[in-house]
Chain A
Amino acid sequence: AQSVTQLGSHVSVSEGALVLLRCNYSSSVPPYLFWYVQYPNQGLQLLLKYTSAATLVKGINGFEAEFKKSETSFHLTKPSAHMSDAAEYFCAVSRWGTALIFGKGTTLSVSS
């Protein structure tokens, strides 16, 4: 069975600081991995996805994530946080022919 664990339900950073949101997955076969962002009262928007090509994946809004098979991790990073990055972030995993399995989410707060 597949599962996703997001470490830290709430992360706070200062504007301009590094953003690091952690995600570990469990899958018996090579997975597809995703990061989604959700702003208040809105649906989820895809930030980036890993589909077994390059292990370092670049997404929108300056975010990137690195797939590390040995650590079963897919952490999300951004070099410099912006106030507009404050939102809920979800890591998700899937396999061929299945729907997404989401983690519980991490709330990112950005202070000035």
Chain B
Amino acid sequence: EAGVVQSPRYKIIEKKQPVAFWCNPISGHNTLYWYLQNLGQGPELLIRYENEEAVDDSQLPKDRFSAERLKGVDSTLKIQPAELGDSAVYLCASSLDGGSAGGAHEQFFGPGTRLTVL
């Protein structure tokens, strides 16, 4: 079974440029998460989707970050414009069901996209 796929794996951009990250979750997983992982820190939730609905985006900086999950499968996370402080690893994860069974379902993580903003 294929795992969570993310692309690109690495991205280097100049500040003020836009950038987008793509995630393909495990087939059949209804819940998709985007996490931000700063160097030396644990991942922090940016947004959580149940199918195509964003059910928790309270930590997403909406002035520059946006996300979408069309058709409840793949998802894209965008930053426009990028700032120096956005340099981090962006992790995508998916689980069978994040709602009715809560956090008990295992979240499967992709390898992440390492963003460097110069």
Q: Specify whether A and B are partners.
A: yes
Interface residues of A (CB under 8 A from B): 4, 9, 32, 36, 41-46, 49, 51, 90, 92, 94-105
A99 touching B45, Cβ below 8 Å: yes
Interface range on chain B (Cβ under 8 Å from partner)? 20 to 34
Interface residues of B in 65-103 (CB under 8 A from A): 91, 93, 98-99, 101-103
Question: Which B residues touch A102, using CB under 8 A?
Answer: 42-44
Inter-chain CB contacts under 8 Å: number:
68
How far is B107's CA from A90's CA once the two chains are assembled, in angstroms? 13
Taking a contact as CB atoms under 8 Å apart, the answer to whether A49 and B106 are in contact is: yes
Residue ID in chain B nearest A91 by CB atoms? B42
Contact B40 A104 (CB under 8 A): yes
Q: Are B102 and A32 in contact (CB under 8 A)?
A: yes
Map CB proximity to A onto B46-60 as digits: 1 under 8 Å, 0 otherwise. Answer: 001000000010000
| Residue contact B33 to A99, C-beta cutoff 8 Å | yes
Q: Is the CB of A44 within 8 A of B43?
A: yes
Residues B102 and A100 in contact, CB atoms below 8 Å apart: no
